[in-house]
Amino acid sequence: MKKEYDVVVLEDGLEYAVIDEITKNGNTYVYLVNVQDEEDFCIRKVVENDTEKFLVGLSSNEEFDEALLYFVNKNNYNLA
């Protein structure tokens, strides 16, 4: 049986599968893959207010690199 992934819709109107969530240093990163194009991916982080959760853009290019590294490390690929 194929694994089912949660799907969210981003600003571009496209559907993205949530393939992972990683919490590091107080931030929860969400790893998203375009359902129609598996090489099209992006990373967002979760922000909560009192009642709702949002997926927001990362703060900087450096944060993108860090979040990418968390993902790579979690998947047991040692780049050192």
Partner 1 sequence: MNNEINYHQKYRKARSKSVGHAKKVKYVKVKTTALKRGALAIALATMIAISGIIYGGGKLIDTIQTTRIVYEATEYGRNIVLQNKKRTANKQFFYYEIDDIATELLKDPENFDRNLYGVYSSIGYNETSQKEQIEEVVKSVGNIAKLHPELGIDSYENFSDYCRQKGFVKEDGSIDYEAYEKAMKELIVDEMNLQKLQEKVSEFKTR
Residues that bind partner 1 (CB under 8 A): 2-11, 15, 17-19, 24-26, 30-31, 33, 35, 38-44, 46-50, 52-73, 75, 77-80
Q: Please report how close the Cβ of residue 66 comes to partner 1 at its closest, in angstroms.
A: 5
Q: How far is the CB of 27 from partner 1 (least distance, A)?
A: 10
H or E segment and range at residue 67: helix 61-74
Nearest-angstrom CA–CA distance, 16 and 32 = 6
Identify which of 10, 15, 77, 73 has the alpha carbon closest to the alpha carbon of residue 44. Answer: 10
Question: Least CB distance from residue 60 to partner 1, whole Å?
Answer: 7
